Amino acid sequence: MTNNDTRQAARMADKIAQLDSICARARIMPVITIAREEDILPLADALAAGGLTVLEITLRSAHGLTAIRRLREQRPELCVGAGTVLDRPMLAAAEQAGAQFIVTPGSTAELLQAGLESAVPMLPGTSSASDIMLGYGLGYRRFKLFPAEVCGGTAALKALGGPFGGVRFCPTGGINPDNLQGYMALPNVMCVGGSWMFDSEWVNNGDWARIQQASAEALQLLD
């Protein structure tokens, strides 16, 4: 192993440790798409008041990067990551905005390489064993399973645990209070992502108390 290989392995080990710490803190990670700029702070505050302090802000809307910057500046106690990162420019923009972790819906060779070069830890998206192997060959050991329920849910994760014993997942897509406990009971699941605790109607109506309550109730299912 060359010195460069040793340094890269050490950097990846550090990123894996960071992701483990983030996911252990999260347990449930809200996956948030901001429709209105004025919702950024009250929504984050409601989720945090309910106990959800690790937030994935997707870049699916024009307000995603603004939300990351504002939360990093005004809510430094929260852990804020960028989701729906699709390519190098989006990764660079998320880093510049202050994202503390990166989540992608899928994996490409270019994006996986960009993740290796980035100082920010990344959860690459996967939906198959082949996707996992693409990242595994580069040193990745932590992945997002998406869309989890469509990909086979807990049965798929149990099956993947055989050939990929050292790999752990954050499943997202179709997670809800009815199946949450089944996912979190699996040894290769470190946290889950979802949005059921902040229904869009509640956000539109500014029903922050209801979002706080739903967030707290979601965490209570894991106690």
Q: E strand or H helix at 29, and its extent?
A: strand 28-32
Q: Is 144 one of the annotated active-site residues of the chain?
A: yes
Q: Is 15 one of the annotated active-site residues of the chain?
A: no
Using CB atoms within 10 A of its CB, is residue 54 exposed (0-12), middle (13-18) or buried (19+)?
A: buried
* Amino acid letter, residue 13: A
Q: Which of 135, 186, 124 is closest to 159 using CA atoms?
A: 186
Q: Which of 70, 9, 72, 27 is closest to 220 using CA atoms?
A: 27
The active-site residue out of 15, 95, 144, 149 is 144
- List, in sequence order, every residue forming a beta bridge with 194; answer none if it has no partner: 30
The active-site residue out of 56, 95, 149, 217 is 56
Give catalytic residue positions: 56, 144
